[in-house]
Amino acid sequence: MAYDRPPAPGDLALIEGLCNSARFLKREDLLVSLDSARAWANARDLPGVAEALDVDSLTWLRRAREAVRGHLEGDREAAGYLTGLSSELLGAPRWGAEGEIVLPVATEEPVRRVVAEVLSVLAVAELADRRARLKVCRSPECRWVFYDRSPAGNGGWCSMEICGARHKMRTYRERRRG
Q: What is the pLDDT of residues 68-119, one digit of tens each?
A: 999 999 999 999 999 999 999 999 999 999 998 899 999 999 999 999 999 9
- Eight-class DSSP state of 8: P
C-alpha to C-alpha distance for 157 and 168, rounded to whole angstroms: 11
C-alpha to C-alpha distance for 45 and 68, rounded to whole angstroms: 21
Q: How crowded is residue 108: how many other Cβ atoms within 10 Å of its Cβ?
A: 9
User: What is the model's pLDDT at position 63?
Assistant: 98
Condensed to tens digits (0 to 9), the pLDDT of residues 153-176 reads: 888 888 777 786 665 666 656 777
Find the mean pLDDT for residues 28-33. 97
Condensed to tens digits (0 to 9), the pLDDT of residues 111-142 reads: 999 999 999 999 999 998 899 999 999 999 99
Angstrom CA distances, 162 to 27, 29, 64, 131, stand at 15, 19, 27, 24
- pLDDT above 90 (res 51): yes
Concatenating the DSSP letter of every residue in 30-84 gives TTSSHHHHHHHHHHTT-TTHHHH--HHHHHHHHHHHHHHHHHHTT-HHHHHHHHH
User: What is the model's pLDDT at position 173?
Assistant: 65
What is the 3-state composition of the chain as percent helix, strand, coil, each rounded to the nearest 5? 50, 10, 40
Altogether, the residues listed in the chain come to a count of 178
User: Taking the model in full, what pTM does it have?
Assistant: 0.90
